[in-house]
């Protein structure tokens, strides 16, 4: 990601505020821009190439730090232009920072200075239930800015469609259609900006969601040093509710105690070496954790205990109260990045797939973008092996990445090895255990004195390649299949 671009806004007045009349929301349109984005993602079937480019329209708006929009609007972007009110021509924009976990991105105009009067938008508090809100943006179907009214129905921890990671979201019945993404959502009562429109429900009609202030605040604070650390995670990948009284008694909880049981801990996570399986999380930052894993937050109500983690920064310290073998303890932990499973739940946007080709065998790490090749219902249609490893904790049995043979490019060197060998976990290469892609590369490069490459799969199958034949056919295979 590029370093922050310094640029100047000509501010006509102080930060935007409103008096609570809907008509005054029209002033906000001066700070809202239309984004024209060209995207080109990687081809998961042939990871050395890209798919044809496509174009989309989104919304963004000026805040003190730059132009705020959704990460999904600029994922895999190759070119971005923005249409600014009162300017005759579109302006090229660059990405300053992006966090795909929370579906937020910050842009800047490529020109350092442009003479337009703009007032950056500031954010209000979390909206109240039943509060009337107005979504402003550029949905498909017209060229003019659009205003859509709705009502807040709930504030809760929910899954972000872009990242498959849960965080705070606000649900509303204000329409959020293609093109609205990245636009501001205002309170009709106070005129304050409540958040950023982000997604709509796949199943419910007239149900949309926007990202509220606490998530936006965490994002903007995170990128202030021009580095995106992302949201931290505790590292407890599996937690068991303790709503059964017999289970609580078995674990040594007293009648006035509540919490959740720890099942698995990710390697190198925030609590690695500090918590153990069968520990019970009793409290976080002094807030009692209930037996369903929720805590009580003022103005929100009951919500996932992870709220106290996602509002923090990587490197922050938090306090945990735990119960270990019936004895209560208090510990401090330093929060680390969100990396919990060997198959990352979040698609690896903007990144080239990690692959390696030997003798026409395409080795690759399994990630969500690859799994999504099985269609919208990929969770149910992907190979059974992937379902087994989807929730495997990072570092379990030293496993850090799931490496498979994703394709076999037909050539004399691999004759007879057909599709039956695809999408099986590679366990060993030339006698070396494979726990990550780097192990594959190292194993194939250390061939001194060997005549054959021996690849062992999890189903006990073996693939044997003649090393001299691999070397002699490598250039032909690369040319035949246009491998760069």
Which residues are part of the catalytic machinery? 72, 103, 181
Do the beta carbons of residue 442 and residue 402 sit within 8 Å?
no
Separation CA 10–CA 400 (nearest Å): 50
361: nearest Cα among 484, 453, 431: 453
Do the beta carbons of residue 93 and residue 35 sit within 8 Å?
yes
Separation CA 401–CA 341 (nearest Å): 9
Residue carrying the six token digits 């044809």: 52
Do the beta carbons of residue 362 and residue 355 sit within 8 Å?
yes
Q: Report the 3 state secondary structure along the chain.
A: CCCCCCCEEECCCCCCCCCCCHHHHHHHHHHEEEEEEEECCECCCCCCCECCCEEEEEEEEEECCEEEECHHHHCCEEEEEEECCCCCCCEEEEEEEEECCCCEEEEEECCCEEEEECCCCCECCCCCCCCEEEEEECCCCCCCCEEEEEEEEEEEEEECCCCCCEEEEEEECCCCCCCCCCCEEEECCCCCEEEEEEEECCCCCCCEEEEEHHHHHHHHHHHHHCCCCCCEECCEEEEEECCCHHHHHHCCCCCCCCCEEEEEECCCCCCCCCCCCCCEEEEECCEECCCCCEEEECCCEEEECCHHHHCCCCCCEEEEEEEECCEEEEEEEECEECCCECCCCCCCCCCCCCEEEECCEEEEECCHHHHHHHCCCHHHHCCHHHHHHCCCECCHHHCCCCEEEEEECCCHHHCCCCHHHCCCEEEEECCEECCCHHHHHHHHHCCCCCCEEEEEECCCCEEEEEHHHHHHHHHHHHHHCCCC
Separation CA 295–CA 254 (nearest Å): 18
Separation CA 406–CA 480 (nearest Å): 18
- Residue 81 φ then ψ, to 5°: -125, 150
Separation CA 47–CA 383 (nearest Å): 19
């Amino acid at each position: 990601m590029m370093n922050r671009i310094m640029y100047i806004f000509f501010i006509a007045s102080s930060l935007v505020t409103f008096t609570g009349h809907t008509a005054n929301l029209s002033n906000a349109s001066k700070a809202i821009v239309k984004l024209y984005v060209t995207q080109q993602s990687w081809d998961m079937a042939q990871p050395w190439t890209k798919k044809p480019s496509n174009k989309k329209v989104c919304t963004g708006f000026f805040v003190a730090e730059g132009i705020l929009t959704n990460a999904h609007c600029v994922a895999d972007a190759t070119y971005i232009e923005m249409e600014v009110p009162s300017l005759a021509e579109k302006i090229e924009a660059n990405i300053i920072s992006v966090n795909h976990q929370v579906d937020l991105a910050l842009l800047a105009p490529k020109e350092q200075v442009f003479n337009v009067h703009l007032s950056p938008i500031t954010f209000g508090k979390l909206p109240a239930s039943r509060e009337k809100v107005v979504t402003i943006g550029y949905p498909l179907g017209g060229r003019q800015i659009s205003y859509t009214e709705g009502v807040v129905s709930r504030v809760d921890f929910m899954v972000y469609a872009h990242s498959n990671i849960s965080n705070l979201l606000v649900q509303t019945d204000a329409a959020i259609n293609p093109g609205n993404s990245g636009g501001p959502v205002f309170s009709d009562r106070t005129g304050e900006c409540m958040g950023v429109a982000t997604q709509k429900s796949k199943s419910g009609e007239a149900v949309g969601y926007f990202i509220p202030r606490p998530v936006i605040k965490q994002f903007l604070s995170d990128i202030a040093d021009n580095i995106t650390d992302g949201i931290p995670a505790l590292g407890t990948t599996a937690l068991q509710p303790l709503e059964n009284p017999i289970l609580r008694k078995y674990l040594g909880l007293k009648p006035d105690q509540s919490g959740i049981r720890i099942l698995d801990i990710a390697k190198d996570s925030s609590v690695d070496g500090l918590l153990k399986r069968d520990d019970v999380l009793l409290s976080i930052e002094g807030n009692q954790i209930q037996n369903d894993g929720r805590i009580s937050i003022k103005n929100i109500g009951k919500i996932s205990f992870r709220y106290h983690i996602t509002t923090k920064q990587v490197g922050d310290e938090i306090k945990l109260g735990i119960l270990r073998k019936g004895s209560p303890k208090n510990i401090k932990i330093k929060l680390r990045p969100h990396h919990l499973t060997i198959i990352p739940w979040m698609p690896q946007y903007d990144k080239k797939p990690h692959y390696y080709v030997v003798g026409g065998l395409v080795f690759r790490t399994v990630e969500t973008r690859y799994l999504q090749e099985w269609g919208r219902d990929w969770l149910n249609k992907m190979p059974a092996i992937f379902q087994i490893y989807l929730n495997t904790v990072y570092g379990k049995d030293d496993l850090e990445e799931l490496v498979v043979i994703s394709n076999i490019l037909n050539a004399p060197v691999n004759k007879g090895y057909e599709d039956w060998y695809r999408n099986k976990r590679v366990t060993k290469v030339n006698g070396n255990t494979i726990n990550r892609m780097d192990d594959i590369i190292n194993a194939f490069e250390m061939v001194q004195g060997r005549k054959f490459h021996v690849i062992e799969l999890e189903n006990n199958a073996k693939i044997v390649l003649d090393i001299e034949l691999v070397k002699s056919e490598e250039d032909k295979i690369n040319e035949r299949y246009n491998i760069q």
